[in-house]
Amino acid sequence: FISSGSDATSDLEYDIDLKEDLTKAFKAIKTPGSFATWGALPKTPPTGLHTPPTGLHVDGVGDIAMPLSEGQIRQLIAKAHQAPLDRRSETLVDVSVRNTWEIDGDQLRFLDPEWQGYLLDLGKRAATSLGIEGAIRAELYKMLIYEKGAMFKLHTESVGICFSLFDGIGTEKTPGMLGTLIICLPSAHTGGEVVVKHNGESKTLKTSDASQSFACWYSDVTHQVLPVKSGYRCVLTYNLATKPGLT
């Protein structure tokens, strides 16, 4: 049996109508949270109540005071390295795609006992904002430092794997990863907005709008960091993941 041209056209129109109906139906589903969110932090991250300070400590630099001074940020950059990206089967540095300084998480220590409580509360706030039910963990990943002109072009971190949209295949970050949490430390800057996109919707998260802030988004969200125009944007990045036994 050979279908007529009119039958083929009808089938095509039916498929298109079905896809449009399904798209509308999915978009109409209301979820308790957002795919990405930003918020100001009224309370400065703990920096220690003792002398010397016992808050954030960076190996090779020492204890970090808040707000960050330019001199201290230059010290951090001196101990940092250019952030790489994954492209196909190799990890490389390409400042035309990602121009950011990074310090590995194992070089960072939080000596103030208040820090864990602070992070726990922030993790709960992030989970609520994203509509995540159940316990999650926030796993320290990196400190990222953006100076003037620094940026990160459009990319995604699907299912805990970082992909550049310039044909990277990525590497897994942590098991059970759901999303990313950043804490923007007190440091004056302009620019450096995070633009997040998902399912046809776009948001701009402006970390420069507050002296300190946080932002979080799901792993499958496409996002980019726009160039910093002035100052320094310094963030702690955390992987948000399910707790063991809850996956």
**Residue by residue, what is the 3-state secondary structure of 94-144?**
CCCCEECEEEEHHHEEECCCHHHHHHHHHHHHHHHHHCCCCCEEEEEEEEE
pLDDT computed for residue 174 by the predictor: 76
Place 33 in a pLDDT band, splitting at 50, 70 and 90: confident
Q: Which residues pair with 246 in a beta bridge?
A: none
pLDDT computed for residue 56 by the predictor: 87
**What's the number of CA atoms in the CB half-sphere (13 Å) around residue 194?**
26
Place 216 in a pLDDT band, splitting at 50, 70 and 90: very high
- The residue among 8 and 224 whose pLDDT is bigger is 224
Q: Rounded CA gap, 220 and 70, in Å? A: 34
- Averaged pLDDT for residues 8-35: 58
- The residue among 186 and 232 whose pLDDT is bigger is 232
Question: How do strand 90-92 and strand 85-87 relate by DSSP bridges?
Answer: antiparallel
Amino acid at 160: G
Average pLDDT along the chain: 80
For the stretch 124-157, pLDDT in tens is 899 999 998 878 889 999 999 999 999 999 877 6
User: Per the confidence metrics, is the pTM higher than 0.85?
Assistant: no
pLDDT computed for residue 110 by the predictor: 87
Q: Rounded CA gap, 185 and 66, in Å? A: 8
- The residue among 247 and 220 whose pLDDT is bigger is 220
Place 167 in a pLDDT band, splitting at 50, 70 and 90: very low
Domain positions in the chain are 1-30, 33-242
For the stretch 34-93, pLDDT in tens is 899 988 886 666 665 444 444 789 999 998 888 899 999 999 999 999 999 877 677 889
pLDDT computed for residue 135 by the predictor: 81
Place 9 in a pLDDT band, splitting at 50, 70 and 90: low
pLDDT computed for residue 5 by the predictor: 53
Third-level CATH fold of 33-242: Jelly Rolls (2.60.120)
Structure tokens at 142: 């990196």
- Averaged pLDDT for residues 170-195: 85
- Give which of 168, 119, 148 is closest to 228, Cα–Cα: 148
- Give which of 222, 205, 202 is closest to 213, Cα–Cα: 205
Burial of residue 122 (CB within 10 Å: 0-12, 13-18, 19+) is buried
Q: Rounded CA gap, 238 and 38, in Å? A: 15
* For residue 21, pLDDT beyond 90: no
